Amino acid sequence: MGLSRPLADFAAEVGAEGPVAVVGGRTQWDVGGPVAPDARLVSAPAGVVDHQPADMTVRVGAGTTVAELTEALAAAGQFVPLDPAQPGRATVGGVLSVGHSGLRRLRYGPVRDTLLEARYVSAAGRLVKAGGPVVKNVSGFDLCRLLVGALGTLGLLAEVVLRVQPVPAARRWLRGRADPDVVLARLYRPSSVLWDGDSVWVLVEGHPADVAELAGRLAGFAEVDGPPPLPAGGRLSVAPTDLNRFGNERQAGTFLAEVGVGTVHLHDKVTPPSPEPSVLDLNHRVRAAFDPDHRFNPGRRVA
Amino acid sequence: MRTLLEDLTAALGAGAVKGDPLELALYARDASVMEGSAGCVCFPTDAAQVQAVVGVARAHGRSVVPRGSGTGLAGGAVPIGKPGAEPVVVVTTRMNRILSVDAAARTAWVEPGVLNLDLSRAVAHLGLHFAPDPSSQQACSVGGNVANNSGGPHCLAYGVTTAHVLAVEVVLSDGSVARLGGTDPDPTGYDLRGAFVGSEGTMGLATAVLVRLTPLPPAVRTLLADFPSAESAAETVSAVIAAGVVPAALEMMDQRITVAVEDFVHAGFPTDAAAVLLAEIDGLPGGVDAAVATVVELARRHGARQVRVAADEAERALLWKGRKSAFGAVARIAPDYYLHDAVVPRTRLSEVLQRVYEIADANHVGVMNVFHAGDGNLHPLFLFDRRVPGALERVHEAAGEVLRICLDAGGVLSGEHGIGLEKRDYMPLLFSEDDLAAQDALRRAFDPERLFNPDKVLPSGSRCGDIRSLPEGVWV
Ligand SMILES: Cc1cc2nc3c(=O)[nH]c(=O)nc-3n(C[C@H](O)[C@H](O)[C@H](O)COP(=O)(O)OP(=O)(O)OC[C@H]3O[C@@H](n4cnc5c(N)ncnc54)[C@H](O)[C@@H]3O)c2cc1C
């Protein structure tokens, strides 16, 4: 346990001047567009600092890989539902900064709900704390939620405190053919329901008796090892009630939709829609308030 | 030039604006012990009227204080301003329509003045409810819940308000309207919705909220365990969480409050127990049965004398009535009470609780404890009589000491009531100047001129940790 290097060293390396980009595992390096070539590359400290099973919290360096975090929590029967595609390479800070939730969002909520406290380096090169290390906190404004999905354009994550969850006693992936909305309505809090226009994949987790009972509700479904490979070109964000129509207008197999959530994984690249002008303006004001010179991850666009 | 009152009346119509001293006095305070003074009070009916009010306030150089039901406990809705420059208080009680309910999506668009419990009642026939359930849920507004990111007993498993808000329509300080968040899971851009929730009326006024509705669980079991000491109850809480059980709710009441409640509502609580734990487990039957067995076993192992599992819905309702009547019960026995709010890591509950009693004793203030133990959220309730000279000062002294020991234990200043005015000057105990500057940067991005609720949440000077150094225009 412990950090690979002090937070202050990281802050000093980032400094107060010049363009800087932070590298994690490079698993989502393209999200938001290419970083300007003149940006200096830095990496956040790594390591699990403190895990309190009875508080269900863990403090880790942002450069820690998700696999390492998972391993550290496993002994206590706990985990953090970050669920990146490549846990061996993806870092905690990278997953948070990109803000893509994993396939179990339906059950565990968006990835931003896991971040309790963040220590980040500001554009002025200072170490700043947001949030607090406990599971419930309304002391001041919620900067943590702002940092998640910000692609490192507001501050560079150095160390974070995350909410952990108990590992469910049983889990089962099932596959079958049915109307995805009907499947969703028939189950109580499934962990994941995926649909590619043809098949439906379902993950149920919990007490073994409940998992067996839920699986029994899905006539014609068979147990499988896991979800299908995720199309990794791009992600669309669609209102969950529009998914059915969306999918029926497309060729089966060209997408994988998270039913009940609204995330659609595609093979093709996706350009995110632009927010309405008043919201776009607010986005620019937020960026200007935190990083007026755009020295962090220059080139990356959040909105 | 016309007066503020005339301009507001021209914009909203007579009847929707109040300016006489008696009316103003009603809106000078909320449910905290602080008081300010309002310049005018207005009751808009839609976003366009709120925009008009913002325009008038700006023209007259007045700030705007959003207000829902005024049940806030941190002074968030208390108007602060120098004589002649008192704020315009904008009350949302006439914006109280449920605009639409989408049963398939399990969402609803509501106006901010809709009361929390009214929303849950309105969607109950669909098997749905609004999960955040503050003890004030009969009276508080959804807009107030959003602004304070409110919690409640069942937020332990379901999450606080921010987890149940998908989008907010906001009138900003320049008079424009922006819709933050959306119906889809990841709207493009920063999570401005997340930043707005919990902003305590300082970043704009919410004129509509898209809430997530939660299905009622298939199985629910509620149990009451009674303990020979507060420590053993607190240790049971840690043990339950460490065992991987996350109850829907896990509430603790000490003997003093149990006795007060029992006298009031006769819920059948054991009045000779040093502390009781009220636990609720919900979900699918298999998991619920296993979790109940674990909680019962852990309670016994930590010395519980009796563990009573509610046999039916009537008994369950009675147990909850006992918990939810706590504040009513206290109001019967003390002229005034001060409800505190702080959070510590769950593993530190037992020792911190002990210190709370010591601090109350040392300051000669009565204290009772009824709180969300499952997430470490303490609510010491100090009893006093404001007519007794020095009584309120002693309460503030004790409250300040409690905050310090909570921070020393690795906790934070507030778990659900917010910072408002009450804890504003304690912020430097938790945050450095750089940390506070970052929070101020966020507020500036939303409200560069500090039009909305300007004196709240962030300290303006370098005052540190002294609640008695209140800003000009407030008294307690
Ligand atoms: C007996 C009692 C028990 C309580 N129990 C709990 C509890 O269990 N959990 C909990 O979290 N809280 C609790 N509270 C505190 C309080 O009820 C909550 O904070 C509630 O959410 C406030 O809602 P309100 O409508 O009364 O808001 P108000 O008190 O009117 O306002 C609160 C804050 O919200 C802002 N605001 C209000 N409406 C808007 C809007 N539309 N747009 C922008 N800002 C707005 C105000 O400016 C102010 O800063 C309790 C209070 C009492 C008196």
Q: Which residue of A has its CA nearest to B348?
A: A55
Q: Determine if the pTM surpasses 0.80.
A: yes
Inside any domain, residue B199 = yes
- Rounded distance, CA A156 to CA B39, Å? 43
| B131 and B223 housed in the same domain | no
Residues forming a β-bridge with B381: B339, B368
| pLDDT 10s digits, A197-226 | 999 999 999 999 999 999 999 999 999 999
| B328 neighbors B264 (Cβ within 8 angstroms) | yes
| B248 and B226 housed in the same domain | yes
pLDDT at A55 over 60: yes
Q: φ, ψ for residue B221 (rounded to 5)?
A: -130, 135
CATH code for the domain in which residue B244 is found:
3.30.70.2190
Ligand 1 mean position, distance from CA A301 (Å):
36
Q: Work out the average pLDDT over A252-277.
A: 95
Q: In the prediction, which pLDDT does B460 show?
A: 79
**Domain-terminating residue out of B408, B424, B454:** B408
Q: In the prediction, which pLDDT does B474 show?
A: 55
Question: Whose structure tokens read 């150095």?
Answer: A158
CATH code for the domain in which residue B389 is found:
3.30.70
Inside any domain, residue B254 = yes
Inside any domain, residue B84 = no
| B181 and B242 housed in the same domain | no
Residue B53 burial (CB count, 10 A):
27
Ligand 1 mean position, distance from CA B474 (Å):
19
| B118 and B203 housed in the same domain | yes
Q: What percent of chain A has pLDDT over 90?
A: 95
Q: Work out the average pLDDT over A76-102.
A: 97
| B207 and B223 housed in the same domain | no
Ligand 1 nearest atom to the CA of residue B71, by list position: 26
Inside any domain, residue B236 = yes
Complex confidence, ipTM: 0.97
| B362 and B259 housed in the same domain | no
Cα dihedral value B164, B159, A148, B420, nearest 10: 90
CATH code for the domain in which residue B211 is found:
3.30.465.10
Inside any domain, residue B44 = no
| pLDDT 10s digits, B199-221 | 999 999 999 999 999 999 999 99
Which residues span the domain enclosing B371?
Answer: 334-408
| B429 neighbors B466 (Cβ within 8 angstroms) | no
- Rounded distance, CA B443 to CA A282, Å? 11
Question: Residue A161 carries which DSSP code?
Answer: E
Number of domains in chain B: 3
Ligand 1 mean position, distance from CA A3 (Å):
40
Q: Tell me which chain B residues have a C-beta less than 8 angstroms from the C-beta of A193.
A: none
Q: Which residue of B has its CA nearest to A260?
A: B105
Q: In the prediction, which pLDDT does B10 show?
A: 97
| B102 and B205 housed in the same domain | yes
Of A133, A288, A303, the CB nearest to B410: A133
- Rounded distance, CA A50 to CA A60, Å? 7
| B114 and B208 housed in the same domain | yes
- Rounded distance, CA B262 to CA A16, Å? 61
Inside any domain, residue B459 = no
Q: In the prediction, which pLDDT does B464 show?
A: 38
| B311 and B211 housed in the same domain | no
Q: Is B34 helix (H, G, I), strand (E, B) or coil?
A: coil
| B129 and B182 housed in the same domain | yes
Residues in chain B with pLDDT values less than 50: 462-470, 472-473, 476
Inside any domain, residue B139 = yes
**Domain-terminating residue out of B198, B215, B232:** B215
Inside any domain, residue B371 = yes
| B70 neighbors B129 (Cβ within 8 angstroms) | no
| B356 and B394 housed in the same domain | yes
| B312 and B244 housed in the same domain | yes
Question: Residue B165 carries which DSSP code?
Answer: E
**Domain-terminating residue out of B327, B356, B372:** B327
